Structure 1
Amino acid sequence: MAKLTVNDIDLQSKRVLTRVDYNVPMAEQDGAMVINDDTRIRATLPTLKLMIENGAKVILTAHLGRPKGERVPSMSLRPVADKLAGLIGKPVAFCEQCVGQAAEDAAAKLEDGGLLLLENVRYHAEEEANDPTFAEQLAGGADVFVNDAFGAAHRA
């Protein structure tokens, strides 16, 4: 089966679940988590801009660190959403869940050309276990899947 690229697909009004590598180094500074190196975020900008320009509803999924299935506040992707918004020059919605009703509702609110970053998938032990049920929950409602995370390609 041939793999397609984002250039091969009509993305207009499609929900595009996109796996990105936002496992970035962070440190606490003045009580907040701050990104020390945004190289991995910047690496996704060309793909994200292409999808946005083509009217996709972009739903981003990523991991940060190894929280081992537990919710660890210092490993939240919220600071990444803020950094991405600054780099791409448009708002990035953030959902504190990556599966379930809250994630579904956040995705449903996306407009064409909109961006949504879901919370750290590794807050769920099922992600590292490659659980097919978890994968189905994560992909539910998506029209297209894009893997823009070479470092996590073995998880796709």
Structure 2
Amino acid sequence: MRRTSFEDLECPIARSLEHVGEWWSILIMRDAFDGFTRFDQFERSLAIAPNMLTRRLKSLVDAGLLERRRYQDRPPRHEYVLTETGRALRPVILALYAWGNQDLAPGDRSLVLVDRATGREVEPVLVDRATGVPLSDLDIGFVAGPSASEPFRDRLADAAAAAGRPAT
């Protein structure tokens, strides 16, 4: 069964899921942020079938999140290195970490985020860049951007109406 592609959808969340919406992809990216670069490292860390790992790595390379580089000629071996686009996913991974620790396993954390330089525990918080106010403290919502199509604007207006908010 062929899955639906989100590549051409206007919603940036849907487009993002096109590249990292499969759970192995997020876990591979997590491991890449931890410093893993080689196939056997990912395979061992994730206990993932080699054929699945091959597909997911290819998908992440095709999406521009990882770069495949040869590190050995005989036999040919490659490593997978984060690209600039891949490194930009880090705040999303950290937000998932924070949500998972806070809301899914509070008080029973098996993973703690620390500042490597000081060892001090770090608690990620998403903030508005302009004001520094945590997003959780704001009443925020999605509105149509300048390039939104009419159908997309209609969808957003329907969502606003369903929530009892004025469409903007």
TM-score range, shorter chain: under 0.3
Structure number with larger C-alpha Rg: 2
* TM score, norm. by length of structure 2: 0.24
Bigger relative contact order, structure 1 or 2 (CA pairs below 8 A, ≥6 apart): 1
- Structure with bigger helix share is 2
Relative to total residues, which structure has the larger strand share, 1 or 2? 1
